[in-house]
């Protein structure tokens, strides 16, 4: 482990005038092994990846995190987008701000997305893979693991047209995030965690899920897919289906952690997950020190 500098905050303006809050963390080396841009999941924020960022930076990687629009300290209506493409456009702005020239030469850049962030990352890479050398996904939200009512898609479509800003409870059970009770407690008490979402957001996400799975075979970048076998939020079977459609890139890797819930980086036994990520990124086999999320 090389150690890491203190986080450096940044702000990025979106195309429609919002401000996205983020921060970067760099290793105490002349040049990082690679850049890793983290995209968090729905309802959460970049702060929940502080431990992971510190571990990656200590292993020699530069790590960049930001709050999605409508989340955390970023601007925008809470839990809402008019179009799913707004996430992609925002990500493009962040890339331009924190990864200028990355991908053209060393050090390379990787994109890491969790849950909704995984769906956003897939959509972005399918649209424009540059400047990334690889895509890491943890529990991508390609389909809910719980059963939606049969009319859910029709309702979301109609509501998005008639009352797109109408909001309702997200209904996310924190117990499904991790078997670690401390993780669950912190999530419940976190004032930056969202509790509601809008009809427009739901309709946009359902459409994006279908589109991404249909186009998965177009992915050419190496993909690391990290799944919890007992994930009650993002269907791990849909994650496996995505992986089967990726093709034969020998750098593609699927890891399924038996008994793990949704947040594999915040699970009991998370050290295995971080070590797998570091090895795939090119940091070599590493067993990080156990640090409470």
CB-count burial class (<10 Å; 0-12, 13-18, 19+) for 95: buried
The DSSP secondary structure of 68-95, one letter per residue, reads PTTSTTS-SSTT--S-THHHHHHHHHHH
CA-wise closest residue to 273 among 292, 288, 293: 288
Element (H, E) at 257: strand 253-257
Count of other CB atoms within 10 angstroms of residue 101 = 8
Any catalytic annotation for residue 231? yes
Among 24, 74, 115, 139, which one carries the catalytic annotation?
A: 115
CA-wise closest residue to 201 among 128, 121, 120, 261: 120
The two three-digit tokens of residue 200, written as one number = 């427009």
Any catalytic annotation for residue 178? no
Q: CA angle 115-118-121, nearest 5°?
A: 155
Q: Are 219 and 135 in contact (CB under 8 A)?
A: yes
Alpha carbon 272 to its chain centroid, in Å, reads 19
**19-25 β-sheet, strand order:** 8-13, 19-25, 62-66, 35-39, 109-114, 132-138, 223-228, 253-257
Any catalytic annotation for residue 64? no
Among 231, 235, 261, 276, which one carries the catalytic annotation?
A: 231
Phi and psi based region of residue 194 (left: phi greater than 0; alpha: psi -120 to 50; beta: remaining):
beta
The two three-digit tokens of residue 215, written as one number = 């186009």
Among 64, 74, 262, 276, which one carries the catalytic annotation?
A: 262
Active site residues: 115, 231, 262
């Amino acid at each position: 482990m090389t150690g890491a500098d203190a986080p450096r905050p940044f702000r990025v303006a979106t195309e429609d005038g919002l401000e996205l809050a983020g921060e970067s963390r760099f290793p105490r080396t002349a040049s990082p092994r690679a850049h890793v841009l983290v995209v968090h999941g729905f309802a959460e924020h970049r702060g929940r990846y502080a431990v992971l960022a510190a571990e990656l930076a200590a292993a020699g990687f530069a790590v960049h995190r930001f709050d999605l629009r409508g989340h955390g300290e970023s601007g925008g209506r809470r839990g809402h987008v008019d179009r799913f493409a707004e996430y992609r456009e925002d990500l493009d702005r962040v890339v331009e701000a924190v990864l200028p020239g990355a991908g053209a030469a060393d050090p390379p850049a990787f994109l890491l997305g969790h849950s909704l962030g995984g769906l956003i990352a897939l959509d972005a890479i399918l649209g424009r893979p540059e400047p990334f050398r690889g895509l890491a996904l943890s529990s991508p939200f390609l389909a809910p693991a719980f059963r939606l009512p049969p009319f859910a898609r029709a309702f979301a479509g109609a509501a998005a047209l008639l009352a797109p800003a109408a909001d309702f409870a997200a209904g996310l059970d924190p117990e499904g995030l991790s078997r670690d009770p401390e993780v669950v407690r912190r999530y419940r008490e976190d004032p930056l965690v969202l509790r509601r979402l809008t009809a427009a957001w739901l309709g946009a996400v359902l459409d994006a899920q279908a589109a991404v799975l249909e186009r998965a075979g177009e992915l050419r970048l190496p993909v690391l897919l990290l799944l919890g076998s007992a994930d009650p939020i993002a269907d791990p079977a849909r994650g496996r289906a995505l992986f089967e459609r990726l093709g034969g890139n020998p750098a593609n890797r699927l890891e399924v952690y038996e008994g793990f819930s949704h947040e594999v980086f915040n699970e009991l036994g998370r050290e295995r997950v971080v070590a797998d990520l570091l090895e795939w990124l090119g940091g070599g086999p590493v067993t990080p020190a156990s640090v409470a999320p």
